[in-house]
Structure 1
Amino acid sequence: MTENNDQNKSPYQKGKNGNSMLKPPKFNAYWVYGLIAVAFIALNLLNIGQKPQETSWQKVKNDMIRNSDVERIVVIRNLLAVNVYLKQESLDKYPALFESSFDSPSKAGPHYTFPIGSIEQFADQLESAQEGVSELNRIEPEYTTQENYFGDFIGWILPFALIIGIWFYVFRRMSKGAGGGSGGGNIFNVGKSKAKVFDKESNISINFKDVAGLAEAKQEVEEIVEFLKHPQRYTKLGGKIPKGALLVGPPGTGKTLLAKAVAGEANVPFFSMSGSDFVEMFVGVGASRVRDLFKQAKEKSPCIVFIDEIDAIGRARGKNPNMGSNDERENTLNQLLTEMDGFDTNSGVIILAATNRADILDRALMRAGRFDRQIHVELPDLNERREIFGVHLRPLKLDPNLDKEFLAKQTPGFSGADIANVCNESALIAARKKKEIIEKQDFLDAIDRIIGGLEKKNKIISLQEKKTIAYHEAGHATISWILEHAHPLVKVTIVPRGKALGAAWYLPEERSITTKEQMLDEMCSALGGRAAEEIIFAKISTGAQNDLEKVTKQAMAMVSIFGMSEKVGNVSYYDSSGQSDYGFSKPYSEKTAELIDSEIKILIEKSYKRAKQVLLDNMSKHKKLAELLLEREVIFSEDLEAIFGKRKFGEPQGLGEKKIIPIPESKSTTNDSENQTV
């Protein structure tokens, strides 16, 4: 895609013989005005042309007046200068006058000029220089005033021109910021749409082949393109073409990429803009831009209009934080609702929109007839991740033995954007190590860095802190290996990364639903670090802060959302519509709140006691694992298998080969030890 854009923007074009030549710049009428102004100013300021030669009064008096070569003397009052006219028969005596053909004076004169101090003083000097000269040969000075019309004009108009120029520049810049690209750059077009139009000449290189995974979503979007390409296939049976489709999913899953593929595949105009482009500081601008957008779309129908991040203007009305105020977003939404399915019809215009906050959108926007379809773009599964890796690995120089299946298994829960980041980060790591190809280890390092952060080898950790961290992480690893539903362990490290002093990497099972037993096992595993500290050192630390936060949220969800508490019952206080986001009251009474709190505490306490019992039953193996972790700083599932034996409930799939990480000379420290889950 980058190469195509560069070709489109290249300043070169091919001639008839195939050779590259520079494109001629486009003609602009302002260039002519500019050249004329520059030439006019240059001619006047530089005073190019025939002009008298500079001289002095002494030379005029001693050489010209004494030899009777002067015909006239003209005194210019306002310039305090004197022009000297020579007799025509005396011009041959002064050959230096006409040596230069560029700025020599005319033969008619004036031939010389010189400045004077005052007119009275010059009159006395001229009178004394002509003493004894007869009346017939005496030269009487002439007095005149020379007007400089150009200088006066420039002096009068220049200040106004500067003020108008500065005002026009500032006004143009402000109107461009307010009016957008299609508005022509002035304040009168502030209400014009800022949508970018892509058509057949745009040469968009992305198509559906570049979109890996997302099979169901891609099928839905491909059908929209077919609606526009072959509408009669669907309308001949009496059906109506859908008016809109909403792409919903977490960030980075490929919603905008799907829209780009539609723009590349469809042979119809494609309008693209963001939801925030409608929002403006001026009242009514958003609604005006919506009207202009649909006006342009109707003129070019059939076409597709894509609005990215539509939640910027599509938030449910009456539920905004700025209560009681006139909300410009509501006016924009009202106009959008009217344009999408109002009194006027929009035949041939299909609306595509994308958001990751579908729960806060207005119900009127989500109804059939506006957005007829909701296309869910979820996080990719194992097979889809393998396809996504296949797309992003194309431009990389890889080890021939690298397995995409292995990489897909190592990245559960990763979005398409995360996978692209892994591929790019692995290339940077390999280049940093001065490798010629990217190997498996580089990808593993990239995954570790993205999940846990950069290794911090400069901070100093005391021996007691290091021992506490080792037993804490060994507690997590021990319980996760023994319990049936806990996530299989991949790697444990006490090398600090990011904000974590230690971390454990797990490979969670990809499942659609989770049982109560699975959630309890996960809670027990998360509390293994705190339980290990209490058992081994008879005291606890702040290292379990992240674990406690995770466990508390999970227990709260079990009781108040999933109905997994016998005393609270099969009730859920979760509001999926988002209507209670800005409410001040809880959906349950104070008595129920106390019951929920007590049930959450009971769940956590039971999981904690269970974690302590598991560690006590496996005390020797737990200590052996912690000592090995202190020695190596990084251990893998193979090391746990050597200590605990094979896992009874199935082996984790897709585990990497054991990698040897040298023990750093110094370690870093932070406040908390986090339990990281891949």
Structure 2
Amino acid sequence: MAKDNPNNKRPRFSSYWIYAIILFVIIGVNLFSGGSSWQKLTATTPSELQEFLKNGDVEKILIITNTRQAKVFLTKDAMAKEVHKDVGDNSLLPASGSSPQYEVKFGDLQNFENEIKKTIKDNNLPTVIGYDQESNLFGDFIITILPFILIIGIWIFLMRRMAGGGAGGAGGQIFNIGKSKARLFDEKTETKVTFKDVAGLEGAKEEVQEIVEFLKNPDKYTSLGGKIPKGALLVGSPGTGKTLLAKAVAGEAKVPFFSLSGSDFVEMFVGVGASRVRDLFKQAKDKSPAIIFIDEIDAIGRARGKNNFTGSNDERENTLNQLLTEMDGFDTNTNVIVLAATNRADVLDKALMRAGRFDRQIFVDLPDIRERKEIFEVHLRPIKTSEALDLEFLAKQTPGFSGADIANVCNEAALIAARKGKKAVDKQDFLDAVDRIIGGLEKKNKIITAEEKKTIAFHEAGHATVSWMLEHAAPLVKVTIVPRGQSLGAAWYLPEERLIVRPEQMLDEMCAALGGRAAEKVIFGKISTGALSDLEKVTKQAKAMVTIYGLNDKIGNLTYYDSAQSEYGFTKPYSEETAIIIDKEISNIIEEQYARAVKLLSENKDKLTELADRLLEKEVIFKDDLERIFGRRPFEKGEEEIVKE
């Protein structure tokens, strides 16, 4: 074939050759159409012209009216004279007919014309006077066509940029705006994440692994009559590992994996979202079996009709309708599985959640103590740690932490150790990292008056005292009056990880939270604004007891929580009379616990004062300090660790 011939090395044709040829044609036409305009003429003055006229040397004078110059044609006899010998043949190009030899620039046309006519008349000369206008064809042509050239050039430039060139790729250009922005995962070039890198989440991994296995070995399931699931929805709190699980699927699956975000479908142009959905599924079908992963699917999957106040057609609804059709419509794409992740499953459309579209909903919860230990093992692989590091202890110190939080703790601990010049990260660095993440950065140079510091000390000592004396309050870890973040003092607890909570447990926690304000009342006889976060916490708890969990006798076994309620609901699910009762019951619960905290602190005022004095002296106290003052708790479970600095 011709393309395989090594001798066939013709120069590559470029469009710039066309532009060059057109330019040369224009110049050539201009040069040869009016040669006189390109002649090299000898300049002379009006006075010298008068001398030439008087001597009878001038055959013709051609006055160019629009340029204020005249061209002088000499007679044949004058050309032989010595004075004109240098202007014999002075044209760059061959001229048609006789050519001028001199050019004269003048000022006022009328005066110049009158003087020439007067000289010709006085000397009875045969000189002819002619008139003409000279134009520059090339210049006029450029001036005429330049705006069009600029417009066409800009248009070509923009079209080339938008039609596929540039770094934005096909999905980001104007002619490809309806194309999918999904990125095809290539296991050979991309960083590979496997299920070994996903700690915990055993149930979620098992279901997702089954989907991968189905794609690898479909006969194992189809031989028994099973069908491939259409989709799986990963639901969970932020940072629990939903996207990481999808990355592991991409690393494990030996099939094409398309990854994109829900916001990639949203565009200002009408119909673009639906077009991108169609293109995405078309690509996936062409490469089937394949997996599509849509992160943050709530960007397009919100329930239809709930947020459309204007009554207009919503572009997101069009996109969602197209997604519903592609997942389980008349022409369903087989062997294409859709994985999606969201932390707002309550706002998703019911049609999207039904069986046949997202067949499985996989809940990715916050890790428990065992799973947190496994997560620490994963994130500590690249970190140089001391040999004495106890991972089980670290897992106990991080209740309620997500996988992302634990990754942040490990990174922060490494930074703290490096800041201190250590060769390895030890236990204390991790404890400092936990404190940094929970409470914020220490502000030891913050200016606090002695009176304010004393108030803060008694406030934090009140929290510690009440929580120590209540059975269901969270066990104390440490108390500090060193300002951190926005707080002036803080108390750290290790809450028990419960699946269900009883009323007495909630009431003890509320009483402990009000211990700070109660201590101010008992010691100083007045209160301050320092209990804002405590009041916010107890108000939410009391409101939940009354309106959500049905733990109030007067309201009874009712809940006003509706998981399917629109976020734009404007009506209360109870009457005004019930609202009054709810407000009164919430207030009663909080005031009862406040009075209970005041009573406890009044009975132990001397121990409270001793604890506050020690806190003022040391700024940070631990569990063993409270044991020396109060003795061991009678309901101690013996599980909690004593944290020492």
Is 1:259 aligned to 2:259, yes or no?
no
AA at the equivalent of 1:593:
A
1:158 paired residue number: 146
Is 1:495 aligned to 2:482, yes or no?
yes
The equivalent position to 1:230 in structure 2, one of 211, 214, 217, is 217
* Gap change, CA 1:656 and 1:81, over 3 Å in 2: farther
TM-score, L = length of structure 1: 0.76
The within-5 A match list for 1:199-218 is 199-200=185-186, 203-208=189-194, 209-218=196-205
Q: Deviations over 1:37-75 (max 9, x none)?
A: 99999999xxxxxx98898659xx99xx9xxxxxx9999
Distance 1:503 1:30 in 2: 73
Shift, 1:484, TM fit: 1.9
2:583 paired residue number: 597
- Contact 1:52–1:111 under 8 Å retained in 2: no
Q: Deviations over 1:348-379 (max 9, x none)?
A: 11111111011111111111100000111111
1:478 paired residue number: 465
2:601 paired residue number: 615
Shift, 1:222, TM fit: 1.8
AA at the equivalent of 1:624:
E
Distance 1:547 1:28 in 2: 78
Is 1:647 aligned to 2:628, yes or no?
no
Is 1:634 aligned to 2:634, yes or no?
no
- Contact 2:242–2:364 under 8 Å retained in 1: yes
Shift, 1:525, TM fit: 0.8
* Gap change, CA 1:556 and 1:42, over 3 Å in 2: farther
Distance 1:183 1:79 in 2: 58
- Contact 1:194–1:273 under 8 Å retained in 2: no
Distance 2:209 2:102 in 1: 88
Secondary structure of the corresponding residue to residue 267 of structure 2: coil
* Gap change, CA 1:120 and 1:181, over 3 Å in 2: same
- Contact 1:53–1:113 under 8 Å retained in 2: no
Distance 2:407 2:281 in 1: 35
Secondary structure of the corresponding residue to residue 226 of structure 2: coil
Shift, 1:237, TM fit: 1.1
Secondary structure of the corresponding residue to residue 264 of structure 1: helix
Distance 2:485 2:27 in 1: 66
- Contact 2:234–2:364 under 8 Å retained in 1: yes
Distance 1:474 1:358 in 2: 42
* Gap change, CA 1:541 and 1:148, over 3 Å in 2: same
AA at the equivalent of 1:450:
I
Is 1:505 aligned to 2:492, yes or no?
yes
Shift, 1:184, TM fit: 6.9
The equivalent position to 2:181 in structure 1, one of 175, 187, 195, is 195
Shift, 1:626, TM fit: 0.4
The equivalent position to 2:430 in structure 1, one of 436, 443, 454, is 443
Q: Which moved more, 1:161-170 or 1:535-544?
A: 161-170
The equivalent position to 2:355 in structure 1, one of 354, 368, 373, is 368
Distance 2:631 2:153 in 1: 83
Shift, 1:249, TM fit: 0.5
TM-score, L = length of structure 2: 0.79
Distance 1:206 1:555 in 2: 48
Secondary structure of the corresponding residue to residue 510 of structure 1: coil
Is 1:185 aligned to 2:162, yes or no?
no
* Gap change, CA 1:548 and 1:158, over 3 Å in 2: same
Distance 2:65 2:393 in 1: 97
Distance 2:508 2:72 in 1: 113
Shift, 1:391, TM fit: 3.2
Distance 1:655 1:295 in 2: 59
Shift, 1:439, TM fit: 4.1
Shift, 1:166, TM fit: 4.8
2:337 paired residue number: 350
AA at the equivalent of 1:615:
L
* Gap change, CA 1:610 and 1:154, over 3 Å in 2: same
Is 1:559 aligned to 2:546, yes or no?
yes
Q: Indicate the percent of aligned positions where both proteins have the same amino acid.
A: 64
Distance 1:641 1:410 in 2: 20
Shift, 1:171, TM fit: 7.8
Q: Deviations over 1:287-332 (max 9, x none)?
A: 3332332233222222112221111222222322626443332232
2:76 paired residue number: none
The equivalent position to 1:534 in structure 2, one of 521, 525, 530, is 521
Distance 2:22 2:388 in 1: 70
Distance 1:395 1:38 in 2: 65
- Contact 1:197–1:269 under 8 Å retained in 2: no
Distance 1:234 1:474 in 2: 63
AA at the equivalent of 1:161:
I
Q: Deviations over 1:420-450 (max 9, x none)?
A: 2223333444444455544443333332222
AA at the equivalent of 1:640:
L
- Contact 2:27–2:138 under 8 Å retained in 1: no
* Gap change, CA 1:255 and 1:81, over 3 Å in 2: farther
Higher normalized contact order (CA 8 Å, seq sep 6+, divided by chain length): 1
Is 1:294 aligned to 2:281, yes or no?
yes
Secondary structure of the corresponding residue to residue 480 of structure 1: helix
Distance 1:40 1:433 in 2: 77
* Gap change, CA 1:220 and 1:117, over 3 Å in 2: farther
Is 1:242 aligned to 2:204, yes or no?
no
Distance 1:400 1:375 in 2: 37
2:396 paired residue number: 409
Question: Which blocks of at least 5 consecutive residues in structure 1 are unaligned?
Answer: 1-26, 45-50, 66-71, 95-103, 128-134, 659-678
Q: Which has the larger radius of gyration?
A: 2
